[in-house]
Amino acid sequence: MSSKLRILVPVKRVIDYAVKPRVKSDRTGVETSGVKHSLNPFDELSIEEAVRLRERKQPVEDILAVSAGPAKCADTLRTAMAMGADRSIHVDVPEDKPLEPLGVAKLLKAIAEKEKSNLIILGKQAIDDDAAQTGQMLAGLLNWPQATQASKVSIDNDTVTVEREVDGGVETLRAKLPMIITTDLRLNEPRYASLPNIMKAKKKKLEKKTLGDYGVDATSRLKTIKVEEPPVRQGGGKVEDVDGMIKKLKDLGAL
Amino acid sequence: MLTIAGQSALRAVRARSTSHALSSHFESSSLARLLSTLAILEQRDGKLNSGSLGAVTAGEKLGGSVHGFIAGKSAKTVAQEASKIKGLEKIIAVENEAYDRGLPENWAPLLVENIKKGGYTHVIAAHSAFGKSLLPRVAALLDVQQISDVMNIEGEDTFVRPIYAGNAILTVQSTDPTKLLTVRQTSFPPAEIEGGSASVEEGADPKAESSTEWISENLAKSDRPELASAEKVVSGGRGLKSKEEFDRLMPPLADALGAAIGASRAAVDSGFADNSLQVGQTGKNVAPQLYLAVGISGAIQHLAGMKDSKVIACINKDPDAPIFQVADVGLVGDLFEKVPELTEKLKSQ
């Protein structure tokens, strides 16, 4: 007998991938106010995959999108619902005290247990902190199997087969539900939310919660000492032709 | 080499020894106890993966003792080879076929057991597919906030890492009792594999079952240098227009230079090149002596993966492409003319 899929999709609101982040002059972080934010691109893939599982006639009972962060995360969740998530939970976390991956993993564990999730699809990394940890941490805390950097997912009853990107190629793993999957770029091509679906998403349920509601202590373990601009590379200018290129590469000791 | 980290540990010991009036003998043994690193070494089919040896280099930079950790079917044989790695005091080996495929489900309990047994203050793995998949799971089991893709160690608890695709550099201080790090391979070159004489010790084996079954793998075969560690890299982008053109132009150029082949995300997404060749924020980080970008515009996500290269050269027909802002040598021109010409001229040298 196959179980009904109750999919949990954690999503993060991040500075849009096309924006070049600017380091604050006091070196405490990156300027976020007045900067365009979007759904983390890898999380779009997670939502898309969950919706496609339903479209492939898998017994998907529920797709729940969750985000932890300031009030504006609600917009991110509306986007996720416009793409096909059924409902969402916004866990309010003050903007000046963002959670670390370990804190997020603890929160997600509590939510997954409460919501009886049996498949959790996360992005492989958020493009702001580039940590690539939350999915694996959550898998460890729940003691569930994990398949990170997935490029293909297929489900047959309770058995999940995942192709994952590894150094030098792909690897295929198989595990039983419940399971954690993190998405790689090759997994799918996320759809755009259509206007009618954006309108419909406004009527979908968005619950507001706090860390306290889940009894999660997510105290930070890391202290930011400083955030700096990377050293600027000086472009060395252009050469006229191929001979010029070879000569300059030799001068620079690269050939 | 006594490093910043070693010195600050030493200060801590001195502070304690002053207040408790301890002997100098205790002082040095305290230092050893205060800082001890477990470096996770990867092996494949009984062969040590040199890409993982950056973990040893990072451990040495911290100061204190550095132990290596190896598990798998031929762990003891690999341990003998690894015992010559410079900087390692001891190797912990766990010989059990169950660990051959590097599955985090049984590796994580294995590491937790050995970390606790050894009382390590630092645990370091390479920021490879294996390290990335495993170490956060270990961190969660130990209730530790891991630090990913470390590019510099400033002290025993202070680490530097890139955020926002390398557009900002973050220095963080960890308050966790055990520090778990994955280290950037291009920032910590492999430790030398000769000159050392580590002892080999059998590690604890909790024999946890893996809830995941390894089915198969399909690795891209290549006779060329490995992308992440190559001294020269030629990389192709969307400008190559098709897989046929990529395959026609890039391999001869790579061979003329003795270079590895890389690709931009656009080239990979368009099917010109295999996923494993992608250079950038979501692909590989490279820092070769020479990085030659062909038909690559230079989006920030791509630059994230290659801007630490020693010399960057590019060929692009758009003189305003952002790649020219970072390139030491830029040639504006049609790559379909310039690449064959460059290949020929390099070959005739």
CB contact under 8 A, B136 and A23: no
Q: What is the pLDDT of residue B222?
A: 77
Report pLDDT digits (tens) over A138-154: 999 999 999 999 999 99
Return contacts of A19-22, CB within 8 angstroms, 24+ apart: A20/B167, A20/B300, A21/B164, A21/B167, A21/B168
Interface probe for A, chosen from B159, B275, B278, B301 (most Cβ of A below 10 Å), is B275
* E strand segments, A124-250: 146-156, 159-166, 169-176, 179-183, 206-210, 222-228, 238-239
Averaged pLDDT score across all residues of chain A: 95
Q: What is the mean pLDDT of residues A30-56?
A: 97
Q: What is the pLDDT of residue B349?
A: 82
A:196-225 residues touching chain B, CB 8 A cutoff: 220-225
Report pLDDT digits (tens) over A195-250: 999 999 999 999 999 999 999 999 999 999 999 999 888 877 899 999 999 999 99
Q: Which of A53, A185, A168, A148 is nearest to B270 (CA)?
A: A185
pLDDT above 90 coverage of chain A, percent = 92
CB contact under 8 A, B171 and A244: no
What is the C-alpha separation between B161 and B165, in angstroms, rounded? 10
3 state SS of B154: strand
Report pLDDT digits (tens) over B326-344: 999 999 999 999 999 999 9
What is the C-alpha separation between A182 and B129, in angstroms, rounded? 13
A67-71, B116-120, B204-208, B272-276: the lowest-pLDDT one: B272-276
3 state SS of B299: coil
pLDDT at B12 over 60: no
CB of A47 within 8 A of CB of A9? Answer: yes
Q: What share of residues in chain A are helix, strand, coil (percent, to 5)? A: 30, 30, 40
Nearest Cβ partner for B133 among A100, A136, A161? A136
CB of B67 within 8 A of CB of B200? Answer: no
| Chain A residue with minimum CA distance to B176 | A221
**Predicted complex: ipTM over 0.90:** yes
Question: Tokens standing for B301?
Answer: 């996500």
What is the C-alpha separation between A198 and A202, in angstroms, rounded? 7
pLDDT range class, residue B273, cuts 50, 70, 90: very high
Residue ranges of domains in chain B:
36-202, 232-348
Q: What is the mean pLDDT of residues B159-167?
A: 95
Q: What is the mean pLDDT of residues B161-171?
A: 95
CB contact under 8 A, B162 and A130: yes
CB contact under 8 A, B170 and A15: no
A:155-174 residues touching chain B, CB 8 A cutoff: 161, 165-174
Q: Which of B111, B275, B213, B140 is nearest to A147 (CA)?
A: B213
| Other CB atoms within 10 Å distance of the CB of residue B48 | 21
Q: What is the pLDDT of residue B221?
A: 76
End-to-end CA distance of chain B: 43
**Burial letters B2-35, b for 16+ CB under 10 A, else e:** ebebbebbbeebeeeeeeeeeeeeeeeebbeebb
Q: What is the pLDDT of residue B24?
A: 39
Q: Which residue has the higher pLDDT, B13 or A188?
A: A188
pLDDT at A114 over 60: yes
CATH superfamily of B36-202: HUPs (3.40.50.620)
Q: What is the pLDDT of residue B328?
A: 96
Q: How many beta-carbon contacts under 8 Å exist across A and B?
A: 249
Q: Which of B233, B237, B126 is nearest to B181 (CA)?
A: B126
Q: What is the pLDDT of residue B275?
A: 87
| A20: contact with B, CB 8 A cutoff | yes
DSSP letters of B63-90? -SEEEEEEEETTHHHHHHHHTTSTT-SE
CB of B229 within 8 A of CB of B51? Answer: yes
Of the candidate CATH numbers 3.40.50.620, 3.30.70.260, 1.20.1070.10, 3.40.50.720, the domain formed by A5-252 belongs to: 3.40.50.620
CB of A167 within 8 A of CB of B126? Answer: no
pLDDT at B94 over 70: yes
A58-67, A106-115, A228-237, B316-325: the lowest-pLDDT one: A228-237
pLDDT range class, residue B7, cuts 50, 70, 90: low
Question: Tokens standing for B230?
Answer: 């190559």
> A122: which chain B residues are within 8 Å (Cβ-Cβ)?
none
A:51-70 residues touching chain B, CB 8 A cutoff: none
Max Cα separation, chain B? 76
Q: What is the pLDDT of residue B20?
A: 43
Q: What is the mean pLDDT of residues B272-281?
A: 92
Nearest Cβ partner for A149 among B129, B326, B333? B129
Q: What is the CA radius of gyration of chain A?
A: 21
Contacts of B235 (CB under 8 A, 6+ apart): B261, B262, B263, B264, B279, B291, B292, B293, B294, B296, B306
CB contact under 8 A, A245 and B163: no
Give Cα B343 to chain centroid, integer Å. 31
Residue ranges of domains in chain A:
5-252
**A110: number of CA atoms within 13 Å, CB side?**
18
3 state SS of B128: coil
Contacts of B54 (CB under 8 A, 6+ apart): B126, B183, B184, B185, B187, B188, B189, B190, B191
Report pLDDT digits (tens) over B42-75: 998 899 998 899 999 999 999 999 999 999 999 9
> A242: which chain B residues are within 8 Å (Cβ-Cβ)?
331, 338, 341-342, 345
pLDDT above 90 coverage of chain B, percent = 81
User: Binding site annotation covers B215?
Assistant: no
What is the C-alpha separation between A175 and A159, in angstroms, rounded? 6
pLDDT range class, residue B347, cuts 50, 70, 90: very high
A:110-139 residues touching chain B, CB 8 A cutoff: 124-125, 127-139
Report pLDDT digits (tens) over B298-312: 998 899 999 989 999
Q: What is the pLDDT of residue B283?
A: 87
CB of A114 within 8 A of CB of A2? Answer: no
3 state SS of A165: strand
CATH superfamily of B232-348: TPP-binding domain (3.40.50.1220)
Q: Which amino acid is at B162?
A: P
pLDDT at A68 over 90: yes
> A222: which chain B residues are within 8 Å (Cβ-Cβ)?
145, 147, 172-175
pLDDT range class, residue B18, cuts 50, 70, 90: very low
Q: What is the pLDDT of residue B9?
A: 54
pLDDT range class, residue B11, cuts 50, 70, 90: low
